[in-house]
Amino acid sequence: MNLRNLSTSFRSIQGSSAETGSASEVIPPAKPPQRHVEVPHPLAVPSPAKISLKNVARNYQRQQGGRVDALKDINLEVRAGEFLCVVGPSGCGKSTLLHLIAGLDKPSGGDILLSGRPVNGPGPDRILIFQDLGLFPWLTVRDNVEFGLKMKRTDKIELRSISKHYLDLVGLSQFGDSYIHQLSGGMRQRVALARSLAIGPDVLLMDEPFAALDAQTRDLLHDELERIWKETHQTIIFVTHNVREAARLGDRVLVLTFRPGRIKAEIRIDLPRPRSMENANVARFASEVMDNLKEEIHRSVESEYRNEPMVSAIPNV
């Protein structure tokens, strides 16, 4: 076959391939259909329990005789990095629960484990922030933040570096030399938070820390706490009477019964972050928490004012 016939034959093959879509045509493989992948809720990702409570109970002997059961049959697991909120009527043992986990009190029965090890007393791996904060008024803001580090005999250069980091984190870098009486209520809360975080605890226990603040300051601190929690990956157990605050902050909300305190309900707050108090879905979850809580509030009131007319006592929603 001469060159002219070869060229004609090649053009003929090309034309035939284009018409019939033969294998000589390079066809790119079809792309698989795009699927929407949802980011799982933190609690949906399996992780070991940071804190475990097994059949925990706490009771007290009355001076006039008899016994008060504060907590009974508490079985609970809190995962590392979880933000757990606890609500319940007055006298249900919320603060007692924090004291037991902190090691400031001992259970009358049951076991409390931190990372699989028994809790036998207080330690720097658990920090409890009280409502009254416990700041030292004779120390500056910086000295308050550095107090726990000094107790650990932290090197002076490292100590100053750590305190600067956490003062920056809570937005108080300009107030290191100020004294506590010179700060607003919200700023004092931030000092207490910075002092607690500076120790490097595994678990942060918060006992109604924002209860005494005005609504605007409280909302700002909700945003700050959520931001800091996301940056530090702390495990937080947060006690509150405010059900909307619980829905705003928590991955999960525990509802405790009136005395003796038992876990009545566990409500998972499956909402994206950041959140706001005004969000309709936050209000919906707060309503669900409130539905579980109302009966316990009435039991608390009846016990407290048994011989007096019934009074409605509904917490902030």
As a whole number of angstroms, the distance between CA 225 and CA 279 comes to 18
What are residue 71's DSSP bridge partners?
Answer: 58, 261
When pLDDT is averaged across residues 226-245 and rounded to a whole number, the result is 93
What secondary structure, in 3-state letters, does 166-235 show?
HHHHCCCHHHCCCEHHHCCHHHHHHHHHHHHHHCCCCEEEEECCCCCCCHHHHHHHHHHHHHHHHHHCCE
- Same domain (yes/no): 268, 239: yes
Higher pLDDT, 126 or 20: 126
- Same domain (yes/no): 68, 176: no
Per-residue pLDDT at 28 exceeds 60:
no
Query: What pLDDT does 3 receive?
Result: 41
Per-residue pLDDT at 315 exceeds 60:
no
Residue 140 lies in a domain: yes
pLDDT in tens, 90-124: 889 999 999 999 999 999 999 999 999 999 999 98
Residue 123: is it exposed, middle or buried by C-beta count within 10 angstroms (0-12/13-18/19+)? middle
Residue 15 lies in a domain: no
Q: How confident is the model at residue 280 (pLDDT cuts 50, 70, 90)?
A: very high
When pLDDT is averaged across residues 118-146 and rounded to a whole number, the result is 91
Query: What pLDDT does 33 receive?
Result: 41
Query: What pLDDT does 46 receive?
Result: 59
- Domain final residue, candidates 200, 222, 244: 200
Q: Find the length of the chain.
A: 317
Per-residue pLDDT at 205 exceeds 90:
yes
Query: Which region among 2-11, 55-64, 158-167, 248-257 has the lowest average model confidence (pLDDT)?
Result: 2-11
- Same domain (yes/no): 153, 51: no
Q: Which of 34-38, 154-158, 159-163, 248-252 has the highest mean pLDDT?
A: 248-252
When pLDDT is averaged across residues 214-241 and rounded to a whole number, the result is 91
Per-residue pLDDT at 226 exceeds 90:
yes
Query: What pLDDT does 142 receive?
Result: 95
- Same domain (yes/no): 196, 209: no
Kindly state the tokens that stand for 23: 């294998």
- Same domain (yes/no): 214, 113: yes
Query: Which of these, 132, 166, 169, 170, lies nearest to 147 by C-alpha position?
Result: 166
- Same domain (yes/no): 81, 191: no
When pLDDT is averaged across residues 57-72 and rounded to a whole number, the result is 88
Residue 1 lies in a domain: no
- Domain final residue, candidates 200, 216, 249: 200
Task: Report whether 189 contacts 221 (CB < 8 A).
Answer: yes
The range of the structural domain enclosing residue 80 comes to: 47-125+202-317
Higher pLDDT, 189 or 38: 189
Q: How confident is the model at residue 15 (pLDDT cuts 50, 70, 90)?
A: very low
Per-residue pLDDT at 171 exceeds 70:
yes
Distance of CA 133 to the CA centre of its chain: 19
- With tokens 């079809």, the residue in question is 30
- Same domain (yes/no): 258, 112: yes
Per-residue pLDDT at 19 exceeds 50:
no
